[in-house]
Amino acid sequence: MTISAGRLSHPAVRALVTALNSNDEQAFYDALTTGATMSDDGLDRDLRQWCDREIFATRGHLDVQSESDHGLSLVANYRNDTWGEMRTRWRFTVEDGKVSRFETGQA
């Protein structure tokens, strides 16, 4: 069963996932703190380069399957035009109502 982005329990995560699924680059970056960081499969990446390549240039989309840790951890089917669909995990750190870090990787 998929959880729609609008029904995710944590407001900062909800804003980020909604923007990602809408391919709304401005809203996505607005949902992040200045200096936000991320990692993919345990390796820190340049956030803007990674997001441009893995989300915005390739129409990335998250179909959330479950959430835990008060909405800060997700398991989702992630798809984009480069890699197709894969089961992924997402972990978010939130500061002052915005995402300051996210970690993703295959689940």
| Per-residue DSSP letter, 106 | E
Residue type, 105: G
Task: Specify the pLDDT at position 106.
Answer: 94
Reduce the DSSP state of residue 91 to 3 states and report it. Answer: strand
CA distances from 93 to 2, 20, 53 (A): 22, 17, 22
pLDDT digits (tens, 9 = 90+) for 8-57: 999 999 999 999 999 999 999 999 999 999 999 999 999 999 999 999 99
Which CATH code is given to the segment(s) 5-106? Answer: 3.10.450.50
Q: What is the pLDDT of residues 78-95, one digit of tens each?
A: 999 999 999 999 999 999
pLDDT of residue 1: 81
- Are the beta carbons of 38 and 53 closer than 8 angstroms? no
